[in-house]
Structure 1
Amino acid sequence: MPTELPTVGAEMLFNEIRAFRAVIRTGSMTRAAATLHMSQPNISRLVSRLENKTGLALFTRLPGKLVPTLEAHVLFQDVERLFVGLEGLELSVENIRKFGNGRLRIASVPSLSYSLLPKTIARFNALTPDVPISVHTDSTSMVMQWVGSRFCDFGLVSYLDDAAILTQPTDVMVERTFNLEAACILPADHPLRHKTVIRAEMLTGMSFVSMASSDPLRAKVDQAFQPNDKRRLLYDTPHAVTICRMVGLGLGVSIVNPLVAIAADHTGLCIRRFEPSIVFASHVVAPRHRPESRLVTRFLGVMDEVLAEDLAAVNAVMATA
């Protein structure tokens, strides 16, 4: 008659696994006992009980020495994964206790995930360490979907016209809006670099790096050059950070979100005020009928501080000629 193998289920107690892990990590039952604030005989009993319940010989016992078997090393790998998960769970519980949520999921359009979000996350982490944060970047429509489905706690979008606001999903609301005055960017050695204000007619005949034709902000920029638009429209791209890089390399001039411009200033840009003024409105969108968690409230407070500092930096750079 075949021998029945031991079954392992709820009867494998947590303390037995914890004792086994401590012995492997410290190399002896005496040190494991000190780590867990238990007696050495108690550690020995827990490990023996684990061996009996699993049917595994986990240690070779030599005089004055305890040697883990191959089975012990294999089991230890799974035990470590378990404890890493448990430690993460403890951190999540602590964050929920403090802030009402264990992690942040943020949706954003590319321009704001490149410019505003990284600095905000860095400052938030300094104030509130160990909070996991996931940033999901895509188009405005996808950001709205993620927020509406509550996959993300809130989102950042760079453009919503009046029609879009009126027709936005009923499960998404605009929580706040911040208006940004568009910046004109030039290569660092551009002939107009000494001007503090760049007017539309000054860019006549110049190579211009545009936003993609599908971008609603493209229409606002193009309108500023009417009715006598004489730019050389050679390049276009959907990403403002790419525009900044192309301008920095001397491929043309452009009009962009000032937050992206100041974030990319190290790439050899000259940032100037533009006339006629073009306002880029950015919005924080959140799930409707869902209370804002303390974690989100704190993050948005930090973001407001970073935004104010960045706008001050933009104004200072624009005033320098």
Structure 2
Amino acid sequence: MGINFDLNDLQAFRAVVELGSFRKAAEAVSISQPALSRRIDKLEEALGVRLFERTTRSVTLTTVGRVFAPSAEQLLDDLDVALLGIRDVSSSRLGRVTIACVPSVAYYFLPSAVASYHRRFPRIRVKMLDMSANEVLGAVISGEADFGVSFLGSQESEVEFKVLLQERFVAACRRDHPLARKKRVTWNELYEHEYVSVDKTSGNRLLLDQALSAVAPRAPSVCETRHVTTMLGLIEAGLGVAAVPSMAMPGRDHPILTSVPLVEPVVKRRVGIVRRRGRPLTPAAQEFHRTIVEMKRGGVACSDAVGNNTSPKERPGRKTAS
């Protein structure tokens, strides 16, 4: 026996799931609320189950509805993939893009990309997962995220890693700190001062431990954190100095924080787009991917950045850091 529902019914279902409201869903798919209700009723009748629990104040998925929702999403995404190259379906559909990214990228680079993308595709919702580098990999591999932006992944067989930019580590300090007067700082000089570090769960910690095997700090750090953003907050409060990726630093006009290039050795990290190998992007995700690449080519992100003191033209001003 055939199943009597169509694409419009699935799109109505997805709209209600994503927006949590029949009224908002009807507006999103440009039909009246009674017409949307009829589509949901038709889908439920065809499947022989109730997909939503509806009251005058709320709409929630039933247990069966929660099971069905990912399958419906996949069906619609697969259809979009099939149509990709025939016509642009992204600009007219209600959809979602999920991006996993490390916090420094989430603050510094992606907001501009999200704003540009939203202007072109206002009906597509962007979900940003700011995670550690290892968590970004996990989200991409599991399918929780369409793709990721991180500095880990080039050695993983399950993912593709496309470099966007290269940045170096710098010494972050207050403007009134002795290191702020230097043009460059060696790692040994950095470790002569009280410093803050990231803990062993951080991808940055792994990268630094490998690059600095010949550099031994004279004393342990005064504090360990999980994220670079927290480190910068501690530095701003006067708790020593820290080695951070240059992208994480605030702009040159920050009243308290500044940075100095670190040398002997120069340590760099490559930031790139992480995709699950063999998994095509949905049209909506493909367009967001293209937006990021085009913004990089246009110079929005800095390449081989070296800190506040030496690359003023490449860094937009901002009051807080990530």
Instruction: State if a TM-score over 0.5 links the two structures.
Output: yes
Match of 2:250 among 224, 246, 262: 262
Deviates more, 1:243-252 or 1:288-297: 288-297
What's the C-alpha RMSD, in Å, of the aligned pairs? Answer: 3.5
1:241-256 aligned at under 5 Å gives the runs: 241-256=229-244
Q: Counterparts of 2:176 and 2:254 in 1: how far apart (Å)?
A: 14
Match of 1:209 among 196, 212, 236: 196
**Matched residue, 2:119:** 126
**Matched residue, 1:226:** 214
Match of 2:288 among 265, 283, 299: 299
Deviates more, 1:180-189 or 1:265-274: 265-274
Q: Counterparts of 1:234 and 1:135 in 2: how far apart (Å)?
A: 32
Over 3 Å counting, the alpha-carbon distance change for 1:267 and 1:281 in structure 2 is farther
- Kindly provide the CA deviation profile for residues 61-98 of structure 1, in whole angstroms up to 9, marking residues without a partner as x: xxxxxxxxxxxxxxxxxxx9423212223499998353
Q: Deviation of residue 264 (structure 1)?
A: 10
Q: Deviation of residue 100 (structure 1)?
A: 7.8
Match of 1:88 among 28, 49, 52: 28
Over 3 Å counting, the alpha-carbon distance change for 1:101 and 1:258 in structure 2 is farther
AA at the equivalent of 2:146: D
Q: Deviation of residue 109 (structure 1)?
A: 2.8
Q: Deviation of residue 234 (structure 1)?
A: 0.9
Q: Counterparts of 2:134 and 2:122 in 1: how far apart (Å)?
A: 31
AA at the equivalent of 2:310: A
Deviates more, 1:298-307 or 1:211-220: 298-307
- 8 Å Cα contact 2:133-2:150 kept in structure 1: yes
**Matched residue, 2:132:** 139
**Matched residue, 2:39:** none
Q: Deviation of residue 280 (structure 1)?
A: 1.5
AA at the equivalent of 1:88: A
**Matched residue, 1:33:** none
Asked if residue 186 in structure 1 is aligned to residue 173 in structure 2, the reply is yes
Q: Counterparts of 1:280 and 1:194 in 2: how far apart (Å)?
A: 25
Q: Counterparts of 1:295 and 1:134 in 2: how far apart (Å)?
A: 12
Over 3 Å counting, the alpha-carbon distance change for 1:97 and 1:256 in structure 2 is closer
Q: Counterparts of 1:174 and 1:88 in 2: how far apart (Å)?
A: 35
Q: Deviation of residue 253 (structure 1)?
A: 0.8
> Could you state the TM-score of these two structures normalised by the residue count of structure 2?
0.61
AA at the equivalent of 2:300: E
Over 3 Å counting, the alpha-carbon distance change for 1:103 and 1:216 in structure 2 is closer
Q: Counterparts of 1:305 and 1:266 in 2: how far apart (Å)?
A: 28
Q: Which runs of 5+ in 2 are unaligned?
A: 1-19, 32-75, 81-86, 313-322
Q: Deviation of residue 212 (structure 1)?
A: 0.7
Q: Which has the higher helix share?
A: 1
AA at the equivalent of 2:26: L
Over 3 Å counting, the alpha-carbon distance change for 1:319 and 1:225 in structure 2 is farther
> Could you state the TM-score of these two structures normalised by the residue count of structure 1?
0.62
Q: Counterparts of 1:204 and 1:141 in 2: how far apart (Å)?
A: 27
- 8 Å Cα contact 2:249-2:307 kept in structure 1: no
SS in 1 for 2:195: strand
- 8 Å Cα contact 1:175-1:285 kept in structure 2: yes
- 8 Å Cα contact 2:169-2:306 kept in structure 1: no
- 8 Å Cα contact 1:198-1:272 kept in structure 2: yes
Q: Counterparts of 1:231 and 1:141 in 2: how far apart (Å)?
A: 28
Q: Deviation of residue 181 (structure 1)?
A: 1.3
Q: Counterparts of 2:245 and 2:308 in 1: how far apart (Å)?
A: 14
Q: Counterparts of 2:311 and 2:130 in 1: how far apart (Å)?
A: 33
Match of 1:319 among 295, 300, 310: 310
Whose Rg is larger? 1
**Matched residue, 1:116:** 109
Q: Counterparts of 1:202 and 1:277 in 2: how far apart (Å)?
A: 14
Q: Deviation of residue 318 (structure 1)?
A: 2.9
Q: Which runs of 5+ in 1 are unaligned?
A: 1-79
Q: Counterparts of 2:215 and 2:305 in 1: how far apart (Å)?
A: 29
Q: Counterparts of 1:104 and 1:242 in 2: how far apart (Å)?
A: 27
Count of equivalent residues: 236
Q: Deviation of residue 132 (structure 1)?
A: 0.8
AA at the equivalent of 1:201: N
Over 3 Å counting, the alpha-carbon distance change for 1:312 and 1:97 in structure 2 is closer
Q: Deviation of residue 136 (structure 1)?
A: 1.9
